[in-house]
Amino acid sequence: MHKWSGSLRCSTFQFYNTMADQNFVDYVKICCRTGAGGAGSAHFARSRIDPQGGPDGGDGGRGGHIILKGNRNVWTLLPLKFRKHVIATAGQNGSENQRSGANGKDIILDVPLGTIAKDAETGEVHFEITEHEEEIILVEGGRGGRGNVHFKSPTNRSPRYAQPGEQGKEEWKILELKVLADVGLVGFPNAGKSTLLSVITAAKPKIGAYAFTTIVPNLGIVKYRDAHSFIMADIPGIIEKAHEGKGLGHRFLRHIERNSVLLFMIPCDSDDIKKEYAILKNELAMYNSELLDKPHILAITKCDQIDEELKALLENELPEGIPALFISSVAQQGLTELKDLLWSKLNN
């Protein structure tokens, strides 16, 4: 299992409430304006006692940074949704006696683990926040100017100039959240993903007999034998050409990147199980081919609607090269075997 599982378990109840209230925000675009650096001082230490005193101008303080800080108790980017402008303060100017100006105040933004920072214009990925209390500078403040004391030399004993401070930066940044979970549920809308999550965890996702009941990821803790547990994520359903942004497209596909094992779910009444599985795999591959390197398991769902004879016939239609199980979340059939297989894959 990935190293973030323990962090995810700390405040699961808070996460359920966040999801239930539809406050889950996984994408924001913000304008970051950092502080300018303070100017260096061109002061001289002159007095009645020493009318020819030398330079003693101090350095200017640096401008305030804008910093992202990982917080395992934060589950959404909602606090930044309506905060379009983030502004740090400027550094103070240097002064006499080589006193440096105070640095500008840094702005620290708490973000969930799994937050990725990007440049809004180029799409370049800057970094990813993966650890609790990890701090990374998103945009740097301007450097403070050096005071005239730094420019004293044998040939220039009385420099009458100092450096101005660097200007702050104004840049647009994109923050994206990728849900961190052990098992991700992959399937077309209405494949039974939310029902499974509601049965084997304490999560209460919205369930309905129509497409796109789930429009935000839902997480739940699956309790396993001997007090073990793992995290399962119900991701909004895939549709064909999702990798092109169709439907919920990229909004849900990026969450799958942070799952250790992928559980493909196809209902037993599907017209063609092999074809449906091939479409799901293709959508993942077209978005990110590395997703196919993750362990895969196939669950044929809603099997309380068929008898053993029909199950035997369906076995001949299953795709090759992937472990497959017949389950029913409503009748709770095959769920123990499913958890055993998932646990085995997670710890293999």
**What pLDDT is attached to residue 204?**
63
CA 169/CA 241 separation, integer angstroms: 39
pLDDT digits (tens, 9 = 90+) for 111-123: 988 899 999 999 9
Domain 27-177: give its CATH architecture.
Distorted Sandwich (2.70)
Please state the φ and ψ torsions of residue 114, each to the nearest 5 degrees.
100, 10
Round to whole Å and give the CA distance between 232 and 230. Answer: 7
pLDDT average, residue stretch 63-69: 98
Q: Please write the tens of the pLDDT for every residue from 230-289.
A: 888 887 766 555 444 444 444 567 777 878 899 999 999 888 999 999 998 888 888 888
Query: What stretch of H or E contains 253?
Result: helix 249-256
Range from 56-70, 304-318, 323-337 carrying the lowest mean pLDDT: 304-318
Better-predicted residue by pLDDT, 191 or 138: 138
pLDDT tens-digit readout, 190-226: 788 888 988 888 766 554 444 444 446 777 888 998 8
Q: CB within 8 A of 106, min separation 6: which ones?
A: 64, 65, 66, 67, 88, 141
Name the β-bridge partners of 29: 174
Query: Do residues 53 and 80 touch, judged by C-beta distance below 8 A?
Result: no
| pLDDT score at 194 | 84
**For residue 2, is pLDDT > 90?**
no
Q: Please check the confidence at residue 18 and state whether its pLDDT lies above 70.
A: no
pLDDT at 255: 73
Q: Of 318, 250, 222, 334, nearest to 27 (Cα)? A: 250
Residue 37 has pLDDT above 50, yes or no: yes
Measured distance CA(330)–CA(159) in Å, rounded: 83
Domain boundaries in the chain?
Answer: 27-177, 181-346
Q: Return the higher-pLDDT residue of 255 and 146.
A: 146
What mean pLDDT value characterizes the chain?
84
- Percent of the chain residues past pLDDT 90, beyond the cut: 48
**Class of residue 253 by CB neighbours under 10 A (exposed 0-12, middle 13-18, buried 19+):** buried
Task: Give the CATH architecture of domain 181-346.
Answer: 3-Layer(aba) Sandwich (3.40)
